[in-house]
Each structure stands twice: as structure tokens, then as C-alpha cells.
Structure 1
């Protein structure tokens, strides 16, 4: 995608949603970190459902350690891989208490060293909590980047680096939110809704998905 088209691509998404935010619910940076760890291979809706009561009870890593692994498991049993995630959340909470005074460090390399925190999770926390210009590439962004031609790449890291290189100001902080939401609600995996896409003319994907019912109407008209 050409530079002018990339700028216009983001401009349109920004115009439709000037203040994009994560759909995960949280009250502070620590809760954000926990929510993102829990969201791996799970939906934001499912995580929010599980964490609403949890986050009323637990607001700090100290309180999470006090809750304990079994107590945490009871809260998040509806989330996939909850046993492993509970173990990681307790472990990372213990490290935050022991090494960081209970605070979440504002450093991606440090975050990645925490149990259960990969590069994507660290990028989300850096962006949402600290306003860093990071690009958290999940399955939605990977698909949108490749399908549209915005940031083609064979690996998640390749797409992230392409986005980092090509995304211009003033869109860098909000970029990953716009792309996730676009992939989640319009540029869907199985059937992208090209007929209502605001960047359809800039996208390299072919063939475009027609308006629902258009095929049947065309077929009926030809018969």
C-alpha cells in the first residue's frame, strides 16, 4: 500500500472512532496487565465477564498473592487455559511485589520477562497504560495487515515491524486499536464485510464481499 493510501486508511478509521480504546475492562495498570494475560486465546467479552467480580476484590498484586492460585482459578474457570493462566498471574504478581514495589514497570523488555507475558501482551500494556507507540499484533491485525496490503508479513513480528515502519503520525498510538476493531467487526476472518468497509477502495483484497443478498438478487435478475 502506498504511503498516501496508508495515511488515508488511518485517517478514515480515526474519523469514525477518534478515541479508540481496548475493549478489556480494568481499573488500573495492574488490572490491565492481568486482563491482557488472561485474554490470550480468549475473547475480551469472556475475560470481562470473569474479571468483573475479580477486580472488585483484587486491585493490586499484593491482593492477588493473598487471593492465591486456587482462589484465582475459581474466578477465571470460564476462561480457556485457566489453570496455566492462574499460575502465571500469581507468579508475575509475586515478582511485581518482590522486585518492583507492586508497580507495573513501564518497559517492554522487562514486561516480557514476567510469567505469561509475551511480546503482544507487553505491547498492549505499553500502549494502553503508558501511551507508547507499540503495535500489538494479534490474529485480527495479522489478518488485516496481510489482507489489505497495509502491512504484509509471514510472521507476527514481520507484520509488527512493517506497521512500526509504515504507520505515520498522528496515528501511531491508536493504530493497533483501530486495526483490531476493524478486524473484529468488519474485516472478519471468514466473511469480510467489504460492502460496509470505510477503506474498501484502498484495500488490496479481492474479490470484495458483496452486500448480503446481492448474489441472490443478481441470480434472480438473470433468470
Structure 2
């Protein structure tokens, strides 16, 4: 299965879940002095998240062309040193504006990966935000409970602010996030070292493939 087929499967899947498909925004942003280039799928929805304009649809899906060469998300220094950083890439996204939340987002991500892309559930892990006592942010028990429908507890990993709390900037929309990781190693390698020990350690063989952000 190539990238074009995965993209189309994703769009078809979420269109069937009641999402309106919208085109990719331009890479060179218009009317946003805070960014030089589009670096994430949420950029074109920024004013909706900030409450400056209403959402045109309660459910949206898109594939966004992104360029990460400056600012907070600058991948230039990583390109060529690992197998997964690129300056330009496409970010697939499904968006809910006041409609569904964690339960549906997690269930549909799992359904798409395991039933549509036929990924082996045995090789998948999920992460959830462990909370921050210092900042008064609680453990994301709701996401954890949702994941228990699909994964055993030992494959649901609690992560800190760096990996499992999303922020648009120093101020503005933010919230916990839940990642899905896949273990691409051989069966022999998986028996020698459990995949959960390699999640978010920079090992390209156990890599994040989805980030569910809950704002």
C-alpha cells in the first residue's frame, strides 16, 4: 500500500463517519503573521479554536501539506539523521468542533488502523497524559479507560508533558493528547526487548503514527 492509497482510505473512512472533506490550505500562510509556513493541520482552523469564527462544519477531515523549517516546529536539524523527519510532509487529520470527543476519536483511530489498514493490534501501543501535580492537571483517565477497550493495560503508557500535552503556543488552546505507536521490529527483537520500553525513546523501529489531541 502506497502513500496515495493510505491518504484516500483515510479520507474515505472519515467521510463515511460524517466528516466534511476540505482541501489542504496553502503552505505559505495568508493573514497570519505568527507563522511563515503551514506546519500543522490545525493552522487553517486556528481562528475556530481561538473562538474568532464559527466552525463551518461540526466534523471535518483533511490532508494538510506542511513545511517545518522554522519556529517551534523546526525539523531541519533532524533531516538526514533519522528515518522519519522531513521538511515537507502531509498531515492527515480528523477534526471535531463541539461534536464528538475522546471515545469516538480513539475508537475510530483504532478501527481505521486495524480494520482498514490491517495493522496487527499486537504491534500497537497507546500513550496517555499522566498528569502534572505541579500544574494541577489531572491524569487523563477518560482516554485511558477508552483505550482499555482495545489494548491491555500494559500497552497503555503514561507520558509526561513533553509527549502527551499539546499546546498551540505559550498561550492559547491546549490539552492532553494520546499517541498511537507501532512496533516495526522482528519477532525476535520484540521478544528480547518489550516495545513499551522503546516508545518515545527515539528508536525509529517503534514509532508514533497518530496523535489524538483533545482541546
When the two structures are superposed, what TM-score results if normalisation uses the length of structure 1?
Answer: 0.27
Structure with the greater relative contact order (CA < 8 A, sep ≥ 6): 1 or 2?
A: 1
Which is richer in helix?
Answer: 1
